Amino acid sequence: MSNHSWPMKKIGDLFDVQLGKMLNEKAKQGNLLPYLANFNVRWGSFDLTRLNEMTFSEKERKKFSLERGDLLMCEGGEIGRCAVWEEAYQPIYFQKALHRLRPLSRGTNAEFYCYFMQYIASKGDLPKLVGETSIAHLTREKLLCLRVPAPPLPEQTAIASLLSIWDLAIEKTERLIAAKEKQYLGLLSRLITNGRYPHSHIREFATEVSRRNSGAAIVQVLSVTNRNGFVLPEDQFERQVASSDLSNYKVVTNGQYAYNPSRINVGSIARLDNWNIGVLSPMYVVFKLDEAKVNSDFFLHWLESHEAKQRISKSAQGSVRETVSFTDLAAIPFPLPFIDQQKQIAAILTTARQEIDLLKKQAEAYRRQKRGLMQRLLTGEWRVKVS
């Protein structure tokens, strides 16, 4: 790892490292007090929505208390995940699943090393740096020996401050996304779910499609995921999942819908938008809509509603493996206003969804920029001028 003249030091030379208190049902001396567990520590921040409690004696309170500027790092789980404690929440302590790193001198900026741990974790280097190819725990002994760059304090502070600007931009964008998502769901409820429309059954405008590949030259194999809809299997799975013989695979064309009937989780019914044609495993259900009766965008938005998720989930209950056949799906009631009204509602919801998608792209752009900056700043490839 290039550091361009920065000295390298061990974590043990820079920090006092203390593992937290073990949860012990037998040792219940002292007061019941809140503590941080592994799940409370995120990258660069803390989730304090749920704090567990256990007893700490007076001696243990001194040993396991946190101070502003302490770096908390995960010993297990996602090893190395860490954040600097800057909260006013007092008193608070920490569990054995966490290391507390307290700077030994004022020449060490804990936030800089938090970013450095995030950088090496993002590269997948942490297991190699602690001497194992597959590791479940970052022990105190290995952490103490971890070699890290030690630039002058002004550089540490300047780099941490610069990277925090990107963190702030990401955080603000994610908050805006959350607000827009809430607004979208409100629109969805008001315009579709709570509208006083006549209801029809899905079978009255949807038809199952069972076209097979039949050895034709259609070889673009696709999968449907809960989060991303239609994807290439090689982008989703580490191993090949498609059969070498695709002749029995189902053909799906642009604008048609598909889902896995045995994994009918929220969001797992998707419309093919990014490909003209593809093939799916025979286990999938493929169907098309009669767009003279229902607007496809209107139907797609309805699938995101709480009403749709409840009704689809209910239709799976009691069936073998909780599957939803097309017959089950087709029997679900569906709000069906006039087609022109459907189009107007869909246009409003599509605009709201596009705003969210643009914000998500913006947040991902900030993350990419931050990764690029970390690579250059935390290795010394780019030096920050400090006065």
Task: Read off the pLDDT of residues 234-253 as tens digits, 9 standing for 90 and up.
Answer: 766 555 556 677 888 999 99
| Beta-bridge mates of residue 278 | 252
Give the contacts of 249 (CB within 8 A, at least 6 positions apart). 212, 213, 221, 242, 243, 279, 280, 281, 282
Instruction: Report the SS3 class of residue 353.
Output: helix
With 80 as the cut, is the pLDDT of residue 318 above it? no
H/E stretch holding 234 reads helix 233-236
In terms of C-beta density within 10 A (0-12 exposed, 13-18 middle, 19 or more buried), how is residue 367 classed?
Answer: middle
pLDDT score recorded for residue 76: 87
Angle between the 153-188 and 339-377 helix axes, to the nearest 10 degrees? 170
> Cα torsion for 332, 338, 340, 341, to the nearest 10°?
-80
Q: Are 233 and 240 in contact (CB under 8 A)?
A: yes
Ordered structural domains, the chain, with CATH: 8-150 (3.90.220.20), 152-183+190-195+338-387 (1.10.287.1120), 198-336 (3.90.220.20)
Q: Are 292 and 179 in contact (CB under 8 A)?
A: no
pLDDT score recorded for residue 218: 60
The more confident residue out of 322 and 287 is 287
pLDDT score recorded for residue 266: 47
Cis peptide preceding 91, ω within 30 of 0? yes
User: How far apart are the C-alpha atoms of 21 and 52, rounded to whole Å?
Assistant: 13
H/E stretch holding 360 reads helix 339-377
| Beta-bridge mates of residue 98 | 74
β-strand pairing of 41-42 with 199-201: unpaired
> Average pLDDT for residues 343-369, to the nearest whole number?
97
Task: Read off the pLDDT of residues 255-312 as tens digits, 9 standing for 90 and up.
Answer: 999 999 887 664 489 999 999 999 999 999 999 999 999 999 999 999 999 999 899 9
Q: Are 138 and 130 in contact (CB under 8 A)?
A: yes
Task: Read off the pLDDT of residues 136-178 as tens digits, 9 standing for 90 and up.
Answer: 689 999 999 999 999 999 999 999 999 999 999 999 999 999 9
Taking residue 337's Cβ as centre, other Cβ atoms within 10 Å add up to 19
> Average pLDDT for residues 53-63, to the nearest whole number?
92
**Cα angle: 8, vertex 132, 78; to 5 degrees:** 85
Q: Where residue 387 falls among pLDDT bands split at 50, 70, 90?
A: confident
User: How far apart are the C-alpha atoms of 122 and 99, rounded to whole Å?
Assistant: 20
